Structure formats: C-alpha cells, structure tokens
Structure 1
C-alpha cells in the first residue's frame, strides 16, 4: 500500500509539471504559501433536496509572512439524486498586492457527481464549475471553466483516516482588460489525508502544487492546505 501511494504521488507530480510545460515556456517563480478553509453546509429542511453552503478562505504568501487573499463563497445547491447535484454561488475575492487590494466578484455554477466506489474502495468525484469574473480594475467579464477530479480511499486498518488526491484544471475562455488570458490559466494538484473526526466534521490536510500562467513569468506555489468541513 505504501509503495503504491508513493508511486501515485510521484506520478501526479510528474503529470502536473508535464501539463504545465505543454501550456507555457515562461520563466517560473516559486513561493511557499498557506491556505486555510472553513466550509459549512446543510439542508434547508431535513428531507429537502435544497441545501446551503458557505466557505471562508484566508490565504498567506511569501512563506506565510504576507496576507495574499480572502475568499468568501456562499452557494445554494439542489440534489438531483444521492450522487448528483447542481449549484449556484457567488464569491467575493480580495487579493492583496504591492499596489493595493484588488476586489473580484464572481457568479458561478457547477455540476458535481460522485461515482460508486471502485472494487478496491476508491471513491471518485467530478466537479465542473463555470465562473463569471468581474474586477474593479476593468470593465470586462471573464469566463473560466474549472474541472476537478477527486479520489479518496480509506487507509487500511483505520476507520476515520483516508488518502486523498485531487487535481483541478482552470481554463479561461476569453482575454479581458483586467489581465485574464484566454486558454490555460492554472492547475492545482493536491495530495494529503482526510480525517473524519465526527459524523459531521472532516479535516483535510495536505500539499497543493499550484501552477499559474502569467504575463511576464509563471508561478509555482507550494501550498500547505488545511480545510475543515462542518455539516449541520
């Protein structure tokens, strides 16, 4: 089990770097970052198919010395079945730069589907998200597609711990006056552990490799990610 996991993590890292190399040949700058995520969700009523959702994400950059972003992301969802759901949400994103704070507002829609477990106990989830992005530094609306694939598998011999891997590709469909470039935007690859601390509480901790396409140079951020999920 340990050998297979190590081999899978190595393959994931190679895949991320290969994908990035295919899209861009720019100079790459690297940084270490910290992301924190508090997610809360629940149903409007006990038997309702309609749910609510809210995220709060503070992020740090420059090895954690500087505040990078704060994201507030509420949403509502409708469960078509036990495995499939459709979502409508909003995001308020504040990004801190040397020139000041950039304010981004997004509307987003997504479809999420969880596949039945495989024969060896791996559960795969697909999430397809569409975003409409507006900045206070421009007039254009940017459109972006995000495709995430997530795989989770219980660690043998434990009841509450699982291996967790996911990868998310971002593609912008148009260039904008505030800096978005059409085509590949970024890729995020995560490897870590999920701890089901209680029936309604889950903690996910791990490493995110974030590769971001830029105008003058690209970025590769090495992120320690900590996410707490609470159900009500």
Structure 2
C-alpha cells in the first residue's frame, strides 16, 4: 500500500500546478543517455538533450552533459561532471552556460518484486559567458519504478530545484519543480526507451510558467 500511495502522490504532483494565473507552454523534450562501465567501480555517463519549446516549434535548449562516477557499494555512488547548455530564448538573448556539478546517488528501496526507489542529490555551479558571477543550485531527484507487466515498469519522479544564491540568472529559493510519469519499454539488452508526460513549473517573481512536456528518453548501458 505504501508503494501505491507513493505512485498516486507522484502522479498527482505531475498533473497538478498551483491555482494562480500562469503562462503555459507545450514542449517536446528528447534525451539520449549512455552509461559506460570502465571497471566494476568506475563508470562514465554521457548524455544529450534536445528541448523544443514555444509549442514545440523551435529548439529552445540543447544540453550536452558528461560525468565520471564511482560506485562506493551496490546502493551508493558519487560522481562529478561538466555540462554545456545552449539556451536560445525567444528574442535576442542566447545564453551559453558552462555547468560543473557533483552528485550523490542512493538506492533507497529495492524489493524482490522489482520495485525500486532512488535518490539523486546534485549540486551545480553555473557560469554563463554572457553574465558575471557563479550561480549555485541544489536539486534533489527521487524516482520510483514499479513493474506493471513482465517487460514494462511504471516510472515516476519528482525533482525540485533550489537556487542557493541570487544572481542575474537565478532568483534564489525554489525556482523549478519537475514531475514525470511514464513507462519503460525495453528495446534490447541494456537499452530502454521511457516516454511519458513531464510537467515543469517555473517559479518567477512575476507570473509563473508551467511547461507541459512530451518527454522521450533513451537509456543505454555498455
């Protein structure tokens, strides 16, 4: 029953946004993620994400990210990495972001029936070619995976973003909250695609924005 309650809570969060007036946008986000096991303990992760915004009419953001990780044990691993993000907003501003980050991954729950609950805590240092100062941000990702058939799992996650300082880029405090519900579909050994719905609520000093996103991610392990 606790697993079912967690699913319901995450699903409700994904489709619920504050009742205040807000801007809304439809997006399509695509992602490709590859994990390469260098040794039993050391791994490399690379990824690319393409985010089509403004009613999915244009490529609003391109993200390229890499990480080197170390498995402390079967349930805990740590890593550090670098990401380049090009944000092409509507209007004249284009932002080139160089992001360094560190993360801690912990498996909180694993049952014989295949239910897993995972946490990822990530600390980011964000610098921009067009801006001064470094923006510090903390984000905590919690994901639940529950078997719903012999080959498929329900995937649900929630991830709040907290700005740790105020800069020309970020406002400070809770800035973004993402919630996702989808289904994993295996394509081959160690390869799966996870389509689903993602809601991104952006908290702003003025009117908030809610992004309704068709999200499709491809995961590969080598």
Same fold (TM over 0.5): yes
* Pairing partner for 1:99 from 92, 99, 102: 92
Equivalent pair of 1:160/1:197 in contact (CA under 8 Å): no
Looking at structure 1, the residues matched to 215 and 124 of structure 2 have their Cα atoms a distance apart, in angstroms, of: 23
- TM-score, with structure 2 as normaliser: 0.91
- Residue 43 of structure 1 and its aligned partner are, at CA, apart by 1.3
**Correspondence 1:172 to 2:163:** yes
For 2:35, the equivalent position in structure 1 comes to 41
Looking at structure 2, the residues matched to 102 and 124 of structure 1 have their Cα atoms a distance apart, in angstroms, of: 35
* Pairing partner for 2:154 from 158, 163, 166: 163
- Residue 195 of structure 1 and its aligned partner are, at CA, apart by 1.2
Residue 12 of structure 2: SS of its match in structure 1? helix
For 1:133, the equivalent position in structure 2 comes to 126
What are the within-5 Å matches in structure 2 for residues 108-127 of structure 1?
A: 108-118=101-111, 121-127=114-120
For 1:73, the equivalent position in structure 2 comes to 65
- Residue 211 of structure 1 and its aligned partner are, at CA, apart by 0.2
Looking at structure 2, the residues matched to 120 and 79 of structure 1 have their Cα atoms a distance apart, in angstroms, of: 24
The answer to which of 115-124 and 136-145 deviates more is: 115-124
Two-structure CA RMSD over aligned residues (Å): 2.1
Looking at structure 2, the residues matched to 211 and 199 of structure 1 have their Cα atoms a distance apart, in angstroms, of: 35
Looking at structure 1, the residues matched to 74 and 11 of structure 2 have their Cα atoms a distance apart, in angstroms, of: 33
- TM-score, with structure 1 as normaliser: 0.87
Looking at structure 2, the residues matched to 107 and 43 of structure 1 have their Cα atoms a distance apart, in angstroms, of: 22
Looking at structure 1, the residues matched to 108 and 170 of structure 2 have their Cα atoms a distance apart, in angstroms, of: 33
For 2:25, the equivalent position in structure 1 comes to 31
The answer to which of 102-111 and 133-142 deviates more is: 133-142
For the structure 1 residues 7 and 76, does the alpha-carbon distance in structure 2 shift closer, same or farther, using more than 3 Å as the test?
Answer: closer
Looking at structure 2, the residues matched to 92 and 140 of structure 1 have their Cα atoms a distance apart, in angstroms, of: 17
Looking at structure 1, the residues matched to 145 and 84 of structure 2 have their Cα atoms a distance apart, in angstroms, of: 29
> Paired residues, what number?
218
For 1:190, the equivalent position in structure 2 comes to 180
Consecutive unaligned residues in structure 2, runs of 5 or more: none
Consecutive unaligned residues in structure 1, runs of 5 or more: none
* Pairing partner for 1:213 from 197, 203, 214: 203
Looking at structure 2, the residues matched to 118 and 181 of structure 1 have their Cα atoms a distance apart, in angstroms, of: 40
